Amino acid sequence: QLQLQESGPGLVKPSETLSLTCTVSGGSISNYPYAWDWVRQPPGKGLEWIGSFYYTGTTYSNPSLKSRLTISMDSSKNTFSLNLSSVTAADTALYFCAKHDTRGSSYVVLDLWGQGTLVTVSS
């Protein structure tokens, strides 16, 4: 049974790059027709979809973050990663990794989530 676990620095300075990794356990990340997602939640606020990395290598991003965002996958490490550049305090949030099955008729059904990791942007 697949499980997801986020990891990365809990504190990032303004203007720097936020880098997080999601480790997939219980199966090989490249064995499934899945897409691997990032979602964030500012403290006390709602959920915001960040983007997806599809098993085909295609990525889709939230238009509001696209210019600062890179999502990638490392099959050898069974991980996928998020890089968000030029961060500000507005990027402070609980960051979740998740996945969705690319088969089926519905788009982006996030059926498995990591527990989340809090990233604070502050000097």
Partner 1 sequence: QSVLTQPPSVSGAPGQRVTISCSGTSSDIGAGYDVHWYQQFPGTAPKLLIFGTYKRPSGVPNRFSGSKSGASASLVITGLQAEDEADYYCQSYDNDLSALFGGGTKLTV
Buried b (16+ CB within 10 A) or exposed e, 28-66: ebeebebbbbbbbeeeeeeeebbbbbbbeeebbbeeebe
CB of 76 to partner 1, least distance (A): 26
Q: Per rule CB under 8 A, is residue 54 in the interface with partner 1?
A: no
- Whichever of 15 and 25 has its CB closer to partner 1, that residue is 25
- Span interacting with partner 1, options 9-17, 48-56, 70-78, 84-92, rule CB under 8 A: 48-56
- Whichever of 9 and 107 has its CB closer to partner 1, that residue is 107
User: Which of 98, 53, 101 is CA-nearest to residue 74?
Assistant: 53
Q: Please, which of residues 80-109 interact with partner 1 by CB under 8 A?
A: 96, 104-109
Q: Per rule CB under 8 A, is residue 118 in the interface with partner 1?
A: no
CA distances 6 to 63, 94, 110, 114, Å, are 23, 10, 16, 6
Q: Per rule CB under 8 A, is residue 115 in the interface with partner 1?
A: yes
Among 2, 5, 49, 55, binds partner 1 (CB under 8 A): 49
Residues lying near partner 1 in the complex (CB under 8 A):
37, 39, 45-49, 52, 60-64, 96, 104-111, 113-116
